[in-house]
């Protein structure tokens, strides 16, 4: 509006006496200015939408069935070891928990698999009622510290409060997320039919995103000696060991410890699972986890009773579409069917009313 | 200028005290008057510097910021931003600060640029050279150094630097010619006069010796009104006082023509000049769409607040358990813990507000404004609304009302110049009942004077002969036409070919030109005005000279004008011409009956009639008249009123001579336009100052009334017979009975109402009885509502505005449009929701005061039916879509709060929060709102009934708004719960690794961006390459941006939460599948609703859309067939 009133004024001053300026005012006859650009003008009528609905139905239903079958073929086993129940082997550990106890409490849970797990098996731990997505929690980290920045190492971001410093010493890694890192140790034993316990080898590499491990997380300084790199910092309050003692393997120690990285990726929902270990398939002859009895040995360090949380261990095989999730398949089948059904309804409507409209138009 | 008519009235009715109080005294040449006169009081006036700019370099930033934050929306976002800065909020201040900064900066740059242009323009004006007379010599200075009282010399073709009083001119008669094209668009030359006493000062030295003061009113914006007095002091004499009027005042911006040079004294300078006073902004009109937009905003604000309240309450309910509030893994900081719970709750509330504030989008205002501003160019660019004759196209004075053009329910149109051409042609005249018809011009030749008179019923007698001569002389003398001798006059051209150089008649009133030309064809030619003598070439080719003594100018209240002349024989004659109603009551002799019969018959044929009368004055009478006139003219106080009184006294005791009839042809396609407007469901009212018969004939010709229309009359004639009360009740009974009888059939009987000004004021007048006025008004409105066409004749300008106001205020609050071409339509144009000016022959005042100006009445059709319709569709979609997309955007965040312990954790990353509205989803809707065309322009023009589909703001009514909001909520639920179930306790990568909360948000966001963009794609009916480019382009931009945003560790960020999140998500098959699925599900209901509505309850728009393909295909197939046929025959 400003512009137009201004222009009016401008014209007032500029307008030459006589008709000198008038001739140039004729608007250009371009397609754009006359709003006549060539255009495709689709309209959604029953006739055009019908085939689309049928096609969607025909595509979605098979996809859905495929997804559903794949999901059903995935084997998943879940065991809760929280120990809230009196009968649970971990009951004692869960009751007698204290942060200061030096002696780890262990418990063993027997279980049996009805069916063998053929391919690679992925071992998850699951927590319930644990709000990793709480805002105060999510932001309580210092990404530049985790990326190996030495200044951030000694001066953790204030986002880490109240887990930034302990008695004036900077905490490495700082923040609530790191402080509450899951520290139960889980071991899996296969009980041979003849009674011997065979420890199943659990691989702890490859559980974190490659980019996280290699780019986003880095140990501070070029110092190969982690102990000196973390000099001047202290361990998070709830940790038993400092960060440079997480693993003996230098490739999996400090900030680039994969268990740590996995924990640092905060979950979206209060009930979540995180990848703990991978059980690699040995050869094609024997299943990764044969049918039979197993024992889960838990070093019980992680308290969840205070917030009514649950702890689980999940063993699962994986297909191309990930873990067991019938939702996607069912959704596809449902949507496909709905589309198909709507297609039929529209066909009927189109048949009954479409022609009526067309005849009604003709007099117009 | 804006309120000139209003002001006239006010000044007429209010006592003029203020004029006197607020007067200024100007000392010409800054010379003190001789002693004995009033004491010299130096007064301070602004210098002649023009400041149209709003800002200076120093105050630009604070002033501009202040202006911008005065807007409620900007202020709201500023508040949100400040809250984010102060308290610990979920999103960083950048998310709202950046868009706000962007919006503010863009606006500031735009305004700054405009202001810079203004500065430049000001500068060039202020520094343009001006010649000033100082101590007897001409000195050249810069325009801005000019002061009140300076004597300025202006040469031909120069533009006046300020408002000046003409002192003398190089022409002998003290006149000068001026065009005011740049002021009011009138290109005709106007004559201005110097006061006779200063006329003689013709050189610098002489002018410098002039001792005079000017007393005049304080500056006021009316261009055509000025009252002042000049006191000239001569040696040892009493000062001579002369009146000054608008004819002495040269306005800034006008240009001197045909005069070598003039001397004039500056009286109003700089910001006081009438031109600058006129460039003040008009009152803002707001469109219906804007009102509903604000209503929706309030709803959303309520939603926002209730969301925040709900979440805060739930948060504290949930936190009742200490382990929920502070589990061991997630303690509060010391400071936080020490805070009082009320403060904590309040900060939480604010934090939720901040989290959800995006539901009221910053960018909507920017987009709406850009849409309006850019969109209005299409109106100006439309070549269908370009008029070759005038050389101009449509003009947009405000872009705020584009969509209102699609909502018009009542059209109020002027008759003369709007419905009709205002291109007058002399048809006949009648002297004492004898009719004279000039021969038509055949092949450009004019028949000789003698044979060009056709006498019907000629019975020449002495008396008649004398009357005939007087009549023709009257027509030759009683006018204000000028003769222009060169051939270079602009628009209004009337060529007279007489062997002599071409000359033209120029006048502000086309009637006068037609009359003078007509009478020329009857043998009497008006030659020129020379030395106050009018020269006439009579039938015998003799030149007769009459001394022009006084001109009693035309005004719309008196509706007549007169001249007093002295014939060469020494007789004083007063000639008067005017409307029959204003002449007949003043006639004392003459053949009134015959003339009246003829006048009425002509009026019935739609001709404009004028009556001519004369009065011969004795010397005594003349002197008395002179005295009265000069008295009135000299008055500074109530001059108008006293002039009117003087005129009233002088113009009486006439002898009727005869009448003239002038035809005003209907404008091209006026009937077609009116018919289309009717079909589009608009009610057309004609408001005219013309006579009832003439106006009714025009209405029939323009198909406003059809033969089948039953005419209801509410005129003075009828109310004289019956009381107004009875008439009104009679009419309403007729109308209502008809309606109750024919409840089923829709258009059984149209009614047309004719009402005249007198009756109207009686209807509207608040009557002394308590029951009266409100009642009449209601009944009148009730009658009007049931009439398809209403004709109001004999309307004063202010009554036109009153009618518009009356309809505007009636209980349905219909949208009104007023269209007119003359100054008398300005008040109605300003009053109506949309004012349209016709670039007419009566100057540009209407066009200047209008919201849109068009060259011809017929362009109204395209303006309303096409532009109005598509602009409305565009903006309605824009508004609804904006709210929809922000519901989709924010509602998942709200749902997420239930899963994150009401901790205000945002679902999306900061970058997404910031860019969603300003870049991912902004361009497609802006483009849609600029170029969408749901029906082709041809169809819209061909089928006016389509306009009914959008009346009453139909696309922005609450049900529609509710539908969009529900759709938004549904989609938001689909996004959120779709992602929720997918994420529920499982992995969806083939390497078993888990995704975190940011992947969850990114998944929702991706589905959101795609759904929202595709929803717009579904609504687009007009896919040009630009649409394809923008829609697919913005989706592609989103993907590329996300890849880039997650692809690098950004060194300036203190978090790296998005690192590789998007790519990881894309590497997972189920993520793809679920994105596709969720998009489909979200779009499904809308598609189904669209198809069902179209099939089961098709509107006219739907039918027109589906008809389109057949219609466009058919001719081409026929063409192909005929081509193949012809090929076969070869």
Q: Do A27 and B999 touch (CB under 8 A)?
A: no
First to last CA, chain A: 42
User: Chain B closest CA to A114's CA: distance in Å?
Assistant: 21
A351 near B CB under 8 A: no
Instruction: Check the annotation: does B555 bind a ligand.
Output: no
Span B305-333, mean pLDDT?
A: 88
User: Chain B closest CA to A249's CA: distance in Å?
Assistant: 21
pLDDT tens figures, A250-308:
889 889 999 999 999 999 999 999 999 999 988 878 888 999 999 999 999 898 888 88
Q: Confidence class of residue B499 from pLDDT cuts 50, 70 and 90?
A: very low
Catalytic residue among B184, B414, B511, B949: B414
B980: nearest CA in chain A? A269
Cα-based angle B591, B596, B599 (whole degrees, multiple of 5): 130
Nearest to B185 by CA among A337, A19, A130: A19
Q: Do B490 and A19 touch (CB under 8 A)?
A: yes
User: Chain A closest CA to B337's CA: distance in Å?
Assistant: 11
User: Chain B closest CA to A196's CA: distance in Å?
Assistant: 30
Residues of A in contact with B906 (CB under 8 A): 135
Contact B471, B522 (CB under 8 A): no
Residues of A in contact with B931 (CB under 8 A): 35, 37
Give residue B959's pLDDT: 94
Nearest to B1066 by CA among B1040, B1048, B1084, B1028: B1040
B414 is catalytic: yes
Give residue B770's pLDDT: 47
Q: Which among A1, A135, A147 has CB closest to B900? A: A135
Span B467-473, mean pLDDT?
A: 84
H helices of B584-691, in order, are 592-604, 619-634, 639-650, 670-679
**What distance in Å separates the CA atoms of residue B894 and residue B356, rounded to the nearest whole number?**
8
Give residue B571's pLDDT: 86
Q: Is the pLDDT of residue B373 over 90?
A: no
pLDDT tens figures, A181-212:
998 999 999 998 888 999 999 999 899 999 99
* E strand intervals along B725-844: 751-756, 789-793, 816-820, 834-838
Q: Do A216 and B1105 touch (CB under 8 A)?
A: no
Which residue carries 């934090």 as its tokens? B351
Contact B968, B425 (CB under 8 A): no
Tokens (6 digits) for B244: 């000054």
H helices of B87-133, in order, are 93-126
Instruction: Check the annotation: does B575 bind a ligand.
Output: no
Count Cβ neighbours within 10 Å for each residue of B963-987 and write b for 16 or more, e otherwise. Answer: ebbebbebbbbbbbebbbbbbebbb
B372: nearest CA in chain A? A1
Nearest to A269 by CA among B994, B345, B350, B1079: B994
Q: Which among A267, A346, A349 has CB closest to B996? A: A267
A19 near B CB under 8 A: yes
B1094: nearest CA in chain A? A45
Which residue carries 């009895």 as its tokens? A293
Q: Which among A9, A11, A45 has CB closest to B1091? A: A45
Instruction: Check the annotation: does B794 bind a ligand.
Output: yes
Tokens (6 digits) for B335: 């400071």
State yes or no: cis peptide before A213, omega within 30 of 0. no
Q: Which helix (H) or strand (E) segment is A273 a member of?
A: strand A272-279
Helix (H, G, I), strand (E, B) or coil at B949: helix
Q: Is the pLDDT of residue B442 over 50?
A: no
**What distance in Å separates the CA atoms of residue B331 and residue B345, rounded to the nearest whole number?**
17
Contact B160, B167 (CB under 8 A): no
More confidently predicted of A363 and B816: B816
Residues of A in contact with B154 (CB under 8 A): none
The whole-model pTM stands at 0.80
User: Chain A closest CA to B383's CA: distance in Å?
Assistant: 6
Q: Which among A1, A262, A303 has CB closest to B398? A: A1
Kindly write down the DSSP assignment for every residue of B695-711, as one continuous string. Answer: HHHHHHHTTSS-TTPEE
User: Chain A closest CA to B886's CA: distance in Å?
Assistant: 22
How many other β-carbons are positioned within 10 Å of the β-carbon of residue B345?
15
B609: left (phi over 0), alpha (psi -120 to 50) or beta: beta
A8-12, A221-225, B558-562 — which is least confidently predicted?
Answer: A8-12
Span B1010-1039, mean pLDDT?
A: 95
Q: Is the pLDDT of residue B465 over 70?
A: yes
Give residue B971's pLDDT: 96
Q: Do A22 and B848 touch (CB under 8 A)?
A: no
Contact B138, B132 (CB under 8 A): yes
A181-185, B159-163, B745-749, B750-754 — which is least confidently predicted?
Answer: B745-749
Q: Which among A25, A39, A328 has CB closest to B1023? A: A39
Cα separation values, B482 from B471, B478, B479, Å: 20, 12, 9
Instruction: Check the annotation: does B291 bind a ligand.
Output: no
- The A residues from 20 to 59 touching B (CB cutoff 8 Å) are 22-23, 25-29, 33-46, 49, 56
User: Chain B closest CA to A232's CA: distance in Å?
Assistant: 22
Order of strands across the sheet that contains A121-128: A76-80, A310-317, A121-128, A272-279
Instruction: Check the annotation: does B800 bind a ligand.
Output: yes
Q: Confidence class of residue B750 from pLDDT cuts 50, 70 and 90?
A: confident
Q: Do B381 and A269 touch (CB under 8 A)?
A: no
pLDDT tens figures, A29-64:
888 888 888 888 888 888 888 999 999 999 999 999
Q: Is the pLDDT of residue B1111 over 70?
A: no
User: Chain A closest CA to B429's CA: distance in Å?
Assistant: 35
Q: Do A35 and B937 touch (CB under 8 A)?
A: yes
Which residue carries 């707001």 as its tokens? B286
Q: Do B1077 and A335 touch (CB under 8 A)?
A: yes
A44: nearest CA in chain B? B1091
B322: nearest CA in chain A? A307
B52: nearest CA in chain A? A6
A311 near B CB under 8 A: no
Instruction: Check the annotation: does B730 bind a ligand.
Output: no
A39: nearest CA in chain B? B1024
Q: Which among A35, A130, A133 has CB closest to B905? A: A133
A204 near B CB under 8 A: no
Pairing of strands A185-191, A292-300: antiparallel
Contact B846, B838 (CB under 8 A): yes
Q: Do A143 and B1056 touch (CB under 8 A)?
A: yes
Residues of A in contact with B1024 (CB under 8 A): 37-39
Give residue A314's pLDDT: 94
Pairing of strands B228-232, B395-396: unpaired
Selected residue of B257, B895, B1095 to mutate for chain A interface (largest A Cβ count, 10 A): B1095
Q: Which helix (H) or strand (E) segment is B396 a member of?
A: strand B395-396
Mean pLDDT of chain A: 85
Pairing of strands B533-537, B482-484: unpaired
**What distance in Å separates the CA atoms of residue B198 and residue B168, rounded to the nearest whole number?**
6
A65 near B CB under 8 A: no
Instruction: Check the annotation: does B285 bind a ligand.
Output: no
Kindly write down the DSSP assignment for every residue of B202-238, as one continuous string. Answer: -SHHHHHT--EEEEEEPP-S-TT---EEEEE--TTSP
Instruction: Check the annotation: does B862 bind a ligand.
Output: no
Contact B564, B550 (CB under 8 A): yes
Give residue B11's pLDDT: 46
Give residue B22's pLDDT: 66
Helix (H, G, I), strand (E, B) or coil at B390: coil
Nearest to A297 by CA among A110, A117, A126, A121: A110
Q: Is the pLDDT of residue B39 over 60?
A: no
Q: Do A265 and B996 touch (CB under 8 A)?
A: yes
- The A residues from 140 to 159 touching B (CB cutoff 8 Å) are 140-144, 147, 157, 159
Residues of B in contact with A157 (CB under 8 A): 1054
Q: Do B905 and A33 touch (CB under 8 A)?
A: no
Residues of B in contact with A207 (CB under 8 A): 992-993
Give residue B237's pLDDT: 67
Give backbone dihedrals phi and psi of B271, rounded to 5 degrees, phi first: -75, -5
């Amino acid at each position: 509006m400003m512009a137009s009133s201004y222009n009016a004024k401008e014209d007032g001053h500029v307008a030459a006496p006589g008709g000198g300026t008038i001739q140039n005012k004729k608007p250009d006859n371009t397609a754009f200015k006359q709003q006549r650009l060539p255009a495709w003008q689709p309209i959604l009528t029953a006739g055009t939408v019908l085939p689309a609905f049928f096609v969607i139905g025909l595509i979605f239903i098979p996809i859905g069935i495929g997804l559903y079958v794949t999901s059903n073929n995935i084997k998943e086993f879940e065991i809760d070891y929280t120990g809230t129940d009196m009968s649970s082997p971990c009951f004692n550990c869960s009751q007698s928990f204290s942060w200061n106890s030096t002696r780890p409490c262990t418990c063993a849970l027997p279980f049996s698999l009805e069916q063998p797990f053929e391919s690679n098996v992925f071992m998850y731990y699951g927590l319930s009622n644990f709000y990793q997505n709480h805002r105060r929690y999510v932001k309580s980290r210092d990404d530049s510290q985790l990326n190996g920045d030495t200044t951030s190492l000694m001066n953790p971001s204030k986002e880490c409060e109240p887990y930034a410093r302990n008695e004036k010493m900077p905490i490495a890694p700082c923040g609530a997320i790191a402080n509450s890192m899951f520290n139960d140790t889980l071991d899996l034993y296969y009980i041979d039919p003849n009674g011997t316990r065979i420890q199943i080898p659990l691989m702890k590499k490859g559980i974190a995103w490659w980019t996280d491990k290699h780019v986003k997380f880095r140990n501070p300084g070029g110092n190969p000696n982690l102990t000196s790199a973390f000099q001047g910092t202290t361990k998070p309050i709830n940790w038993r060991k400092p960060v440079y003692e997480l693993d003996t393997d230098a490739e999996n120690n400090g900030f680039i410890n994969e268990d740590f990285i996995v924990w640092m990726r905060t979950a979206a929902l209060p009930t979540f699972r995180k990848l703990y270990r991978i059980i690699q398939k040995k050869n094609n002859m024997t299943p990764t986890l044969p049918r039979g009895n197993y024992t889960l040995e838990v070093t019980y360090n992680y308290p969840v009773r205070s917030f009514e949380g649950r702890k689980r261990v999940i063993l699962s095989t994986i297909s191309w579409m990930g873990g067991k999730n019938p939702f996607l398949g069912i959704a596809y089948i449902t949507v496909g069917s709905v589309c198909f059904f709507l297609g039929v309804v529209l066909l009927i409507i189109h048949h009954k009313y479409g022609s009526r409209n067309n005849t009604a138009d003709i007099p117009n | 200028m804006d309120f000139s008519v209003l002001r006239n009235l006010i000044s007429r009715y209010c006592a003029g005290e203020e004029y006197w109080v607020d007067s200024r005294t100007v000392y010409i040449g800054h010379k003190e008057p001789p002693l004995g006169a009033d004491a010299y009081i130096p007064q301070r006036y602004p210098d002649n510097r023009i400041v149209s700019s709003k800002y200076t370099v120093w105050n630009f930033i604070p002033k501009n910021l202040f202006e911008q934050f005065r807007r409620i929306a900007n202020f709201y976002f500023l508040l949100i931003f400040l809250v984010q800065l102060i308290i610990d909020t979920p999103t960083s201040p950048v998310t709202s600060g950046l868009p706000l900064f962007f919006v503010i900066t863009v606006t500031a740059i735009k305004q700054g640029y405009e202001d810079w242009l203004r500065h430049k323009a000001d500068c060039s004006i202020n520094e343009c050279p001006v010649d000033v007379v100082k101590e007897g010599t001409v000195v050249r200075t810069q325009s801005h150094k000019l002061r009140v009282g300076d004597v300025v010399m202006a040469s031909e073709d120069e533009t006046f630097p300020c408002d000046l009083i003409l002192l003398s001119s190089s022409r002998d008669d003290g006149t000068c010619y001026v065009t005011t094209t740049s002021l009011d668009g009138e290109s005709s030359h106007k004559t201005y006069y110097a006061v006779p006493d200063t006329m003689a000062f013709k050189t610098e030295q002489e002018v410098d010796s002039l001792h005079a003061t000017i007393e005049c009113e304080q500056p006021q914006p009316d261009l055509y009104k000025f009252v002042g007095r000049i006191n000239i002091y001569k040696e040892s004499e009493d000062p001579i006082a002369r009146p000054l009027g608008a004819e002495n005042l040269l306005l800034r911006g006008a240009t001197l023509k045909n005069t070598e040079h003039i001397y004039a004294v500056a009286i109003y300078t700089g910001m006081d000049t009438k031109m600058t006073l006129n460039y003040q902004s008009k009152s803002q009109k707001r469109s219906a769409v804007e009102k509903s937009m604000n209503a929706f905003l309030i709803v959303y604000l309520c939603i926002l607040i209730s969301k925040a309240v709900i979440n805060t309450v739930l948060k504290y309910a949930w936190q009742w358990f200490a382990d929920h509030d502070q589990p061991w893994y997630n303690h509060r900081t010391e400071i936080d813990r020490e805070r009082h719970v009320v403060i904590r709750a309040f900060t939480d509330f604010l934090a939720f507000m901040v989290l959800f504030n995006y539901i009221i989008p910053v960018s909507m205002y920017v987009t709406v404004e850009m849409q309006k501003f850019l969109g209005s160019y299409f109106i100006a660019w439309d070549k269908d609304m370009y008029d070759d004759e005038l050389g101009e196209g449509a003009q947009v004075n405000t872009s705020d009302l584009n969509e209102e053009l699609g909502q018009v329910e009542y059209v109020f149109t002027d008759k003369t110049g709007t419905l009709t051409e205002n291109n007058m042609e002399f048809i006949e005249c009648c002297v004492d009942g004898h009719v004279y018809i000039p021969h038509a011009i055949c092949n450009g030749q004019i028949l000789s004077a003698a044979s060009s008179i056709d006498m019907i019923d000629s019975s020449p007698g002495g008396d008649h002969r004398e009357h005939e001569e007087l009549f023709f002389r009257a027509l030759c003398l009683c006018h204000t036409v000028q003769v222009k001798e060169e051939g270079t006059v602009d628009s209004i051209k009337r060529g007279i070919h007489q062997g002599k150089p071409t000359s033209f008649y120029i006048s502000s009133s086309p009637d006068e030109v037609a009359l003078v030309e007509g009478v020329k064809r009857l043998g009497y030619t008006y030659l020129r005005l020379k030395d106050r003598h009018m020269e006439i070439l009579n039938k015998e080719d003799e030149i007769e000279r009459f001394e022009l003594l006084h001109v009693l100018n035309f005004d719309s209240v008196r509706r007549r004008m007169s001249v007093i002349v002295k014939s060469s024989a020494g007789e004083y004659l007063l000639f008067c011409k005017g409307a029959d109603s204003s002449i007949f009551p003043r006639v004392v002799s003459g053949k009134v009956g015959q003339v009246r019969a003829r006048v009425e018959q002509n009026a019935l044929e739609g001709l404009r009639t004028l009556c001519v009368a004369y009065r011969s004055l004795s010397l005594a009478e003349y002197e008395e008249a002179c005295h009265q006139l000069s008295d009135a003219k000299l008055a500074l106080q109530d001059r108008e009123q006293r002039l009117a009184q003087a005129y009233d006294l002088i113009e009486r005791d006439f002898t009727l001579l005869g009448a003239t009839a002038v035809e005003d042809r209907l404008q091209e396609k006026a009937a077609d336009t009116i018919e289309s407007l009717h079909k589009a469901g608009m009610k057309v009212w004609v408001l005219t100052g013309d006579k009832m018969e003439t106006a009714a004939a025009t209405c029939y010709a323009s198909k406003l009334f059809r033969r089948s229309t039953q005419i209801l009359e509410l005129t003075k004639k009828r109310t004289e017979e019956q009381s107004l009360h009875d008439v009104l009740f009679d009419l309403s009974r007729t109308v209502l009975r008809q309606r109750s009888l024919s409840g089923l059939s829709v258009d059984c009987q149209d009614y047309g109402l004719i009402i005249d000004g007198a009756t109207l004021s009686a209807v509207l007048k608040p009557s002394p009885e308590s029951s009266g006025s409100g009642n009449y008004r209601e009944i009148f409105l009730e009658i009007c509502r049931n009439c398809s066409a209403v004709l109001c004749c004999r309307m004063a300008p202010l009554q036109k505005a009153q009618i518009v106001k009356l309809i505007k205020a009636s209980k349905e609050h219909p949208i009104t449009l007023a269209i007119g071409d003359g100054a008398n339509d300005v008040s109605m144009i300003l009053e109506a929701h949309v004012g349209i000016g016709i670039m007419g022959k009566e100057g540009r005042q209407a066009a200047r005061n209008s919201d849109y100006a068009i060259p011809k009445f017929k362009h109204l059709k395209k303006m309303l039916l096409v532009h109005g319709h598509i602009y409305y569709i565009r903006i309605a979609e824009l508004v609804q879509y904006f709210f929809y997309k922000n519901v989709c955007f924010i509602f998942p965040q709200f749902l997420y709060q239930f899963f994150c312990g009401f901790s205000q954790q945002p679902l999306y990353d900061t970058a997404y929060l910031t860019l969603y509205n300003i870049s991912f989803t902004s361009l497609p809707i802006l483009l849609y709102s600029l170029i969408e065309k749901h029906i082709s322009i041809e169809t819209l023009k061909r089928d006016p009934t389509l306009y009914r589909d959008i009346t009453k703001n139909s696309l922005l009514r609450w049900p529609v708004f509710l539908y969009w909001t529900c759709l938004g909520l549904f989609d938001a639920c689909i996004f959120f719960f779709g992602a929720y179930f997918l994420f529920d306790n499982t992995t969806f990568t083939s390497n078993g690794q888990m995704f975190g909360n940011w992947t969850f948000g990114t998944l929702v966001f991706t589905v959101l961006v795609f759904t929202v963009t595709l929803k717009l794609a579904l609504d687009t009916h007009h896919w040009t390459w630009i649409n394809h480019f923008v829609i697919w382009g913005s989706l592609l931009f989103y993907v590329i941006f996300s890849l880039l945003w997650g692809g690098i560790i950004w060194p300036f960020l203190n978090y790296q939460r998005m690192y590789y999140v998007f790519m990881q998500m894309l590497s997972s098959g189920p993520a793809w599948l679920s994105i596709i699925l969720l998009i489909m599900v979200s779009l499904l209901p809308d598609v189904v609703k669209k198809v069902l509505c179209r099939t089961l309850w098709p509107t006219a728009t739907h039918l027109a859309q589906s008809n389109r393909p057949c219609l466009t295909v058919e001719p081409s197939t026929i063409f192909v067939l005929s081509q193949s046929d012809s090929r076969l025959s070869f």
